[in-house]
Structure 1
Amino acid sequence: MSSFGKFIKKIRLEKGLSQEDIAEKMDLSVSSYSKLETGKVDPTLSKIEKLAGILEFDLGEYAASLKVEQHSGTEDPDASDLYRFVNRKEYKDLISKLEGLERIIQNLAVNN
């Protein structure tokens, strides 16, 4: 199962939705949606955006989940699918922005 597939399955289950529910909202067959979750097919950007709307997540959440995976030390990032949807530079830029936002939030919490 791909990292993205695990990610969307986790969110789907947390929301108490079935594969049928998501497939219907995406106008896909259950079989086609299942292939996204199991990593048998890679989603297009438009499908990722549609899933994000349906499951109410943003790509920052997915990137953060990859960061946690990366820091777990169980996988070499170059050998995984970390860069499946974005290239290495875009991924690093995104992580840098997320870290900057984390610092801003921490500063706001301290100052309030």
Structure 2
Amino acid sequence: MKTLGKKIRLLRHQKGWSQEDVAKRLDISIPAFSKIETGITDINLSRLEQISTLFEMSVVQLLTFSEGEQDQKTQNELEAVHKKLMDREAEVIDLQKKVIELFEELRHNKVTA
């Protein structure tokens, strides 16, 4: 069960949660949760379901989760966010060009008037 505890710890860190945060969500004490993470306490099925729900995974996903898979998922998410950011940057540049064109047009109209 130590491997499962390490997976849970990794997921907790990825969410930016403390042991206290997770313990409160699971309605258990901090030491009880710490024992789960360190593998001292075996996890029963109902607790496993509770933990998987907390991390928005199925029990199977939690049991088969590996750091490499999460790294790939994170990489894919980062690429998607990067693409959105680049698209937004292009939109901003286009809007800046339009503002400059309008400013130049206003300035030209003032000079000729």
Bigger relative CO (Cα 8 Å, ≥ 6 apart): 1
Measure how far apart 1:64 and its partner are.
4.6
TM-score of the superposed pair, with normalisation by structure 1: 0.54
More helix by share: 2
Q: Which residue of 2 aligns with 1:65?
A: 66
TM-score of the superposed pair, with normalisation by structure 2: 0.54
Q: Structure 2: give runs of 5+ residues left out of the alignment.
A: 70-113
Amino acid aligned to 1:14: Q
Mapping of residues 27-42 of structure 1, within 5 Å: 27-42=27-42
**CA distance in 2: counterparts of 1:42 and 1:24, whole angstroms:** 19
Mapping of residues 92-111 of structure 1, within 5 Å: none
RMSD: 2.1
**CA distance in 1: counterparts of 2:54 and 2:65, whole angstroms:** 19
Identity among equivalent pairs (%) = 37
Tell me which stretches of 4 or more aligned residues in structure 1 moved more than 3 Å.
Answer: none
Aligned length: 67
Q: Which residue of 2 aligns with 1:19?
A: 19
Q: Structure 1: give runs of 5+ residues left out of the alignment.
A: 69-112
Is the partner of 2:37 in helix, strand or coil?
helix
Measure how far apart 1:36 and its partner are.
0.2
